[in-house]
């Protein structure tokens, strides 16, 4: 790895700083060459919560490159935000939202400038981000902020920087056609343009990961994938033409399949094999329920379509657990591991 990985602490009132500290404590070799882009005081407070002994220092660094030179049992932090006040655990606070947003903005710009190889983001709290005011109030979450900043960097309108969410764990990958929309709006978003964009973005991203074109399964919209039009015509009028076009472009796509069985077909079996590498889901809950059922603590959120690598734990700020030392860092560890895989490519 030629460049360090930046990790943003998320909302400092939530579990983000704690799960980062636990990742350094529990997986020191994995986190070597990574650093936290945030606030030194916040991370020292978090480390004291999970590692009472002073044998695991939080080190202030002056540049991302310094993170590559430090020993594994040391947590480097680059102060990229104003020095944070001590904020109460587990409470929604506009100051916390602003600190979290500023850290993400700095890290995104560093990735776009080529100063870091990847970005791993601890959870934001959407209400705190909104309470922080401009410019953060306009973004529902990480994905939209990253998309807008990447488009600005490229000199493009936001709609010309399409992105997709992939949720992945060791057993299953799924990519969503739409993300945070009501179900009614999500159904309206199942268009030829949206579906083809999703297929192309997924094919490009997973080709880099796997070293070959992925075998893509497409979930239907309706029960039994419409049953030949008896239960809806989206499969006939939208999905089948999109799949035909994608095949003409060389994509290895299959379906549309009944959504109540396709995820089982794509799940990795005990022998390490799977019928499909990824499932394209038509809307948020269709794709996320199967992945999260397999274990939310292992899930990783990956933003596809950006000119940078971004991963995140597949959970929120867990305000009810913050400050107690009880948060599970497994998803953060998996997010760092996934970022390394995306940076390094197939082995």
CATH 3.40.718.10 for domain 5-162+307-344, yes or no, is yes
* Residues 60 and 28: beta-carbon distance below 8 Å: no
**Residue 269 has what pLDDT?**
84
**Residue 319 has what pLDDT?**
96
CA dihedral 291, 295, 298, 299 (to 10 degrees): 30
CA dihedral 90, 91, 93, 99 (to 10 degrees): 0
Residue 3, Cβ neighbours under 10 Å: how many? 18
**Residue 324 has what pLDDT?**
93
The rounded distance, in Å, linking the Cα atoms of 166 and 306 is 12
CATH number for domain 170-291, candidates 3.40.718.10, 3.40.640.10, 3.30.470.10, 3.10.20.30: 3.40.718.10
**Residue 52 has what pLDDT?**
67
Task: Give the residue extent of every domain in the chain.
Answer: 5-162+307-344, 170-291
Tell me the β-bridge partners of 35.
6
255-270 as b/e: b if 16+ CB within 10 A: bbbbbeebbeebbbee
- The reply to whether 170-291 shares the fold of 5-162+307-344 is yes
**Residue 79 has what pLDDT?**
98
Which tokens hold the place of 237? 């009028």
* Residues 182 and 220: beta-carbon distance below 8 Å: no
The rounded distance, in Å, linking the Cα atoms of 318 and 297 is 12
Could you tell me the pTM of the whole model?
0.90
Please list the pLDDT of the chain residue by residue as tens digits (347 residues): 589 999 999 999 999 999 999 999 999 889 999 999 999 999 999 999 987 665 678 999 999 999 999 887 899 999 999 999 999 999 999 999 999 999 999 999 999 999 999 999 999 999 999 999 999 988 888 889 999 999 999 999 999 999 999 998 888 999 999 988 889 999 999 999 999 999 999 999 999 888 899 999 999 999 999 889 889 999 999 999 999 999 999 999 999 999 999 999 999 888 888 999 999 999 999 998 998 888 766 789 999 999 999 999 988 999 999 999 999 999 999 999 999 988 987 65
* Residues 104 and 121: beta-carbon distance below 8 Å: yes
* Residues 332 and 135: beta-carbon distance below 8 Å: no
**Residue 1 has what pLDDT?**
52
């Amino acid at each position: 790895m030629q460049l360090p990985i930046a990790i943003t602490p998320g909302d400092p009132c939530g579990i983000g700083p704690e799960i980062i500290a636990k990742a350094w404590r529990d997986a020191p070799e994995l986190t070597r060459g990574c650093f936290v882009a945030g606030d030194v005081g916040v991370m020292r407070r978090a480390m004291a919560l999970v590692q009472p002994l002073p044998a695991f220092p939080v080190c202030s660094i002056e540049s991302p490159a310094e993170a590559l030179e430090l020993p594994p049992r040391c947590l480097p932090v680059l102060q990229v935000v104003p020095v944070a006040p001590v904020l109460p655990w587990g409470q929604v606070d506009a100051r916390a939202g602003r600190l979290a947003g500023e850290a993400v903005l700095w890290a995104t710009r560093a990735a776009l400038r080529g100063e870091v190889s990847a970005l791993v983001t601890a959870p934001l709290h959407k209400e705190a981000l909104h309470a922080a005011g401009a410019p953060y109030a306009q973004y529902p979450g990480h994905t939209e902020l990253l998309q807008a900043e990447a488009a600005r960097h490229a000199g493009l309108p936001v709609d010309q920087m399409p992105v997709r969410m992939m949720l992945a764990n060791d057993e299953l990958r799924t990519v969503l056609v739409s993300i945070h929309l009501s179900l009614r709006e999500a159904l309206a978003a199942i268009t030829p343009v949206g579906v083809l964009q999703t297929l192309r973005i997924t094919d490009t991203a997973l080709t880099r990961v796997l070293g070959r074109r992925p075998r893509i399964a497409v979930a239907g919209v309706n029960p039994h994938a419409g049953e030949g039009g008896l239960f809806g015509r989206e499969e006939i009028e939208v999905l089948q033409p999109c799949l035909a076009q994608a095949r003409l472009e060389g994509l290895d796509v299959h379906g549309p399949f009944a959504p109540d069985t396709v995820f089982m077909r794509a799940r990795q079996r005990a022998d390490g094999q799977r019928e499909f590498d990824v499932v394209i889901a038509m809307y948020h809950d269709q794709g996320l329920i199967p992945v999260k059922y397999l274990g939310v603590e292992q899930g990783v959120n990956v933003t596809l379509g950006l000119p940078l690598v971004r991963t995140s734990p597949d959970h929120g700020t867990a305000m009810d657990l913050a400050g107690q030392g009880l948060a599970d860092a497994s998803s953060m560890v998996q997010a760092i591991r996934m970022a390394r895989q995306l940076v390094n490519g197939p082995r």
